[in-house]
Chains A and B, each alone.
Chain A
Amino acid sequence: MVIEIDEKTDFRTLNEKIRASGDKAVLLNGCIGQRYIATGVSEKDITVHGTPGNALGAYLNGGNVYVYGNAQDATGDTMNGGTIVVHGNAGDATGYAMRGGKIYVSGNTGYRAGIHMKAYMDLKPVIVIGGRAGSFLGEYQAGGIIVVLGRHNDGQPIINNFCGTGMHGGKMYLRCDSLPKSIPTQIRAEKVCGKDVKELKDIVCDYCRYFDADAAELLDASFFVLTPNTDNPYKRMYTNN
C-alpha cells in the first residue's frame, strides 16, 4: 500500500490508514512531521520517505520501519521488538527504555539516546549510531547494547557530557582512538577484546548491510567498551527509620 502524505495530513488519520491496511508493506511518501507512525505496530514493513514526527515506532513490537530522511525525537520509545533503520539523523531520546528490537541510525543522535535501555530474557535491544551521540547517552542503562561508530566529520566529540550516568547494566561500544574525558567514574572503560570482538563485529556487519558501509574498514579501528564499574557502584545507602 502506498500513502501519499502532505502537510495537511493528520497523524491520526494516517495511522488509522496504516493500521487498517491489510498489506504487510506500507510506503509513505512526503512525510512531514506526522507523529506516532508505527506506534504499537507489529509485523509490518513501513517505509517512510520524508521526515516522520516524534515517537516513530513507539512500543513497536515487530516488523521493520525504514526511514529515508531524518527521524525526530523519541524514536522507538519503549520498543519491544522489530527494527528501525534511519537513513539520516535521529533526534533526542532515541530508543527510550527500549527492551527489545534494533535501531540503526546512519547519522547522529541527539540527547539521551538509549536512556533506560533494558534487557529481558531473549530480548536484547541494540542501538547503532553511525555518527556521534549527544549528551546523556545511555543514562540509567540497565541492559542492551549501544554502539557509536563516530563516522561524523564535523569535528565534534563522539559523545558528549554525562554519558552513562546511572548506568547499571548493558554495554556501550565507542569507536574512537582515545577515551573521551567525560566518562563518569562509575563506568568501566576498556579496549574491546575477547568475546566482545565477535559481538561487536556482528552488530557492525548488520549496520553495514543497511547503509552500504565497509565493515572491515569500520572494524579496523580502536573501540572502547563501557560497562558499569562494579568496583565503584552507585551507592545510595539508606538507613531504616
Chain B
Amino acid sequence: MSRHIEWLAALLGAALLVLLAWSAPWLRFVLTVALAKGIAVLGLLLLLRAGQVSFGHALFVAFAAYAVAFAAPSVPEALLLLPLAALGSALVGLVVGLFVVRYREIFFGMLNLAISMVFYSLLEKFYSITKGTDGIRLPPVTIAGQALTGATYEWTVFGIALVLALAFGALVRVYLASSMGQALMGIKTRETRLEFMGVSGRRVLLAAYVLSALMGGVGGAIIAMTSRHVTPALAYWTASGELVFIGILGGAGSVVGPFLGAVAYELTRVYAAAAVADAWQLILGAVLLAVILFAPGGLWALLRGRRTA
C-alpha cells in the first residue's frame, strides 16, 4: 500500500516539476538545484534512519562540484564527469567514514562538521589552486557528445537530475527494505544487539555513509553543471545545515520526503527572497518551527495525512 503511494507521489511530483519548469522557464534552474539537493538529502536520510545526523555533508556536495570544475577542461563530457565526481565523493566518504562511524550522535554530527570546515578552509585559502572565494567557472561541457546551449542544455541537465532523483529514490527504497537497511535502523534502537548477532554496527553504518557520500556527490556534480560556477560556499557549514533543514522539512519517513523538502525549500527561498529580500531566512525559520511543532514527520507525513515522528 505504502509502496504504491510513494510511487504515485514520485511520478505525480515528477510530472508536476516538468510542468512547472515548462510553464516558468526561469524555474528550470531552481528546480534542477532542488532535485540535486534532494538527492544529497536522500543520502542524509539514510543516516537519519540510523539515528545519526551529519552536520557536514556539504563536504561531499562540494567535493564533487569542485571535481567537476577541475576535470571539465580535460574531460568536457557531462556523462563522464558526473559519475567520476560522484565516485570521488564516495571515496572521500569511505576515508572520512572509516573515522566518523566510530562515533555516535552529537560526536558524529560535530566530527562531520569539523571535517567539512577543514575542506572549506582548504578551498578558500589555497587561492593558487582553487581561486579562493572567487570560485571556478566551468567551461562548456558536452552531454553525450552533443554541444548543447541555452534552454536545451538546461532542459537536459534538468532531465538528468530528474531521472537520477527517481533512480536513487528507488535504490534507497530497496536498500532500506533489505537486511542491510533494516540493520541500519537497528543502530538507532539497539546497536548492542547487532553486535551480539555477529554484525558490526560500524560497518553497517559505513556502508550507508559511503552511499550517502555518493549521493551527495551526485547532487554536487549536478549543481556544478547547472550553475556552471563553484565556490567554497558549497562546503560552508550553512550549506550542510541547509541539507539537514531540508531533511526535517520534507520528512525522513519516505524517500519522497527529501525531494518535497528540497522543492519547497528552494521555491520558498526564491519567492521569499523576491518578496522580502531582507527577511527570507525569517520566513524559512518560521516554516521549520511550524513543521517541527505541528508536523514532526515533515511535509511527507503532512501530505499523507498522519503524523509519523
Q: Do A and B come from one complex?
A: no
